[in-house]
Amino acid sequence: MNEARALLEEVQKEKTPAQADALVGLGRAKMGQGRLAEALPLLEAADRFWHEFDAESRWAGEAALWLGRCYAGLGRAADARQALTRAEKLLSRSPIPSDSGLVRLAGQR
């Protein structure tokens, strides 16, 4: 996974939505392995990208969701609450039907 991310960054010098998506995916994978401390900087980077690129998009909401869940897993309750509240707000406006499940996940504090 890290090799694919490095290759993507080599080809795309500027930060892109594809890179942010890769960061979220890698962060989620590390969370699934219980490696929350390793997931955190990846998810923070994706969240920063979306905040600067399109802070109101559903993609920003998805990044905020996983960042919030990572914060929660690390015991950072205030940070988790802030990120999950933002995720719930953004994802609730999404036209993608399956995002309703992500909205429910964001609401599980």
CATH number for the domain spanning 57: value is 1.25.40.10
Q: How far apart are CA 55 and CA 64, in angstroms?
A: 10
Domain count, the chain: 1
Contact 36, 70 (CB under 8 A): yes
Look up the domain containing 36 and give its range.
2-107
φ, ψ dihedrals at 74, nearest 5°: -90, 0
Whole-prediction pTM: 0.87
Instruction: Please list the ranges in the chain whose pLDDT falls under 70.
Output: 1-13
pLDDT at 9: 58
